[in-house]
């Protein structure tokens, strides 16, 4: 019983941290996009390349956000399975988008 509770607590912790990472990734992605806009104001080749890097980083943070969302959904499924007395095994994954 104690083990089951430990597992539930761990899953809850992972779930809340994933939600936090998701929010952070979203915020950072917005910041990166703003940096892109600022950097493209200068007619400078090297700054333009940095701007491109910023935009690529923004998209990768967007991907991290989606991955966190998908993982949080899986953990939610595992928590529900535990609540229903199942050992947390799921063969089907939740859709991520």
Among 67, 77, 81, 88, binds other proteins (CB under 8 A): 67
Helix, strand, coil in percent for the chain, rounding step 5 = 80, 0, 20
The reply on whether position 52 binds other proteins by CB under 8 A is yes
Quote the CA–CA distance of 83 and 7 in Å, as a whole number.
11
- 87 burial (CB, 10 Å; 0-12 / 13-18 / 19+) is exposed
49 near other proteins (CB under 8 A): yes
Q: Which is nearer to other proteins, 49 or 83 (CB)?
A: 49
Interaction site with other proteins (CB under 8 A): 29-30, 33, 49, 52-53, 55-56, 58-60, 62-63, 65-67, 70, 92-93, 95-97
């Amino acid at each position: 019983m104690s083990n089951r509770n430990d597992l539930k607590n761990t899953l809850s912790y992972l779930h809340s941290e994933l939600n936090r990472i998701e929010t952070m990734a979203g915020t950072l992605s917005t910041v990166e996009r703003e940096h892109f806009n600022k950097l493209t104001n200068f007619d400078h080749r090297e700054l333009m390349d940095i701007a491109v890097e910023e935009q690529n980083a923004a998209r990768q943070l967007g991907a991290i956000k989606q991955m966190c969302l998908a993982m949080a959904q899986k953990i939610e499924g595992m928590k529900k399975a535990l609540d229903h007395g199942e050992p947390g095994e799921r063969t089907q994954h939740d859709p991520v988008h």
